[in-house]
Amino acid sequence: MRIAILMTNTDDSAFAHRHPKDGAKFTALVQMARPHWSCDVFAVKDDIFPEDISRYDGVMITGSPASTRSGAPWVDRLLALIRQIHDRKIPLFGACFGHQAIALALGGRVDDLPGGWVHGRTENHLVARPEWAAELPDVVSIYGSHVEYVHELPKGADPLMTRDGHSTGFTLGRHIATTQHHPEMTHDFICALTEELRTDMEPQVHARALDSLQEQADQPALAEAIARFFEAARVG
């Protein structure tokens, strides 16, 4: 398969330059499960978009510190592209910002997260089990870092995962799947990011993050599930 990765991460800090970019992270996630698949990265945050999205077997939208509610021209253009992808039923997977952007583009609602910043390893209860998610555990561990969330799902969407009473992933038809969190992040990266953001966090948030990172996320299982999602969506 050929996957388009729409890179939305606006972080241009020294820390970001010391680590692989999100395009590389998502490519590694895809190829962890399907080494022969190819990925093309488009920095949509710099207004670089695919000329013809229909050339791709699937699309992934990355995370970002930017807000889907910012009204930035590139965000508006991305929301329009999401609606086009949905209309054409091209398989689409969104993570964090991508999850929120898909929801917002298709009529859902994004708000500030009650209780503030979530950061570290999160435990998400699988509330639906499509065939492609058959091998995921009932409680899925995924690294996360966010202050906004999807308050209302788009019409026709079904919750996939929940955490603390909030949806942390959804499906829409057979061609859309999302997660609020970051399946592309490795344990080494989230640990480094936690230390980088230490002074930006309240002490209790940092302490909870460190405690959560004593165990690792379910990255290999997530990589396989995402690959199966694209395969099932193409068949559907």
Residue type, 92: L
- Domain layout of the chain by residue ranges: 2-235
- Asked if residue 149 lies in contact with residue 113, where contact means CB atoms within 8 angstroms, the answer is yes
Question: Which CATH superfamily does the domain covering 2-235 fall into?
Answer: Class I glutamine amidotransferase (GATase) domain (3.40.50.880)
- Kindly state the percentage of the chain with pLDDT values over 70: 100
User: What local confidence, expressed as pLDDT, does residue 236 receive?
Assistant: 66
Q: What is the pLDDT of residues 21-68, one digit of tens each?
A: 999 999 999 999 999 999 999 999 999 999 999 999 999 999 999 999
Q: Where are the alpha helices (DSSP H) in 34-175?
A: 73-88, 97-105
Q: What is the pLDDT of residues 181-212, one digit of tens each?
A: 999 999 999 999 999 999 999 999 999 999 99
- Asked if residue 184 lies in contact with residue 21, where contact means CB atoms within 8 angstroms, the answer is no
User: For the whole model, what pTM was predicted?
Assistant: 0.96
pLDDT higher than threshold 90 for residue 235: no
